[in-house]
Amino acid sequence: MFDNLAGFFIHWGITAISLWVASLLFNGIRFSSTSALIISALLLGFANAVLRPLVVILTLPLTLLSLGFFLLVINALMLLLVAKVVSGFKISGFWTAFFASLFISILSMALGSLAPNAETTVYRLPQHSPQTISM
């Protein structure tokens, strides 16, 4: 039941760090408190896991016509959606969300490559095979 819990917390932390660094680099992104940052990271992960695939499927023709460029727009829209839902998270406009989502994606990917693989190294017991008795 709790096999993927460590991986969830690792990715949540990576998303929170990426959002925090983006708020330092982009003037149009603000968090009023640390709790707003943590909730925003959680909701952004939820939006990317649940809503984003649905939006990608619905806009597949537009994505194919733009050769995948529209996926960047979808990322920016997910970030704007989270900013609308979380009261302490403000984004000044679409282009700020566009470039910030691009930066957050790249930084999250880089930090994720440095993180341990939670499925195989954290909270996993080694697999053992049944021993055969030979006579």
Quick one: DSSP state of residue 135?
-
The kind and range of the H/E element at 30 are strand 29-31
Average pLDDT over residues 89-108: 94
Q: How many CA atoms lie within 13 A of 94 on its CB side?
A: 4
Task: Answer whether residue 21 shows pLDDT above 60.
Answer: yes
Alpha carbon distance 124, 116 (integer Å): 13
Domain extent listing, the chain: 5-120
Largest CA distance in the chain: 76
Q: Does pLDDT of 7 surpass 90?
A: no
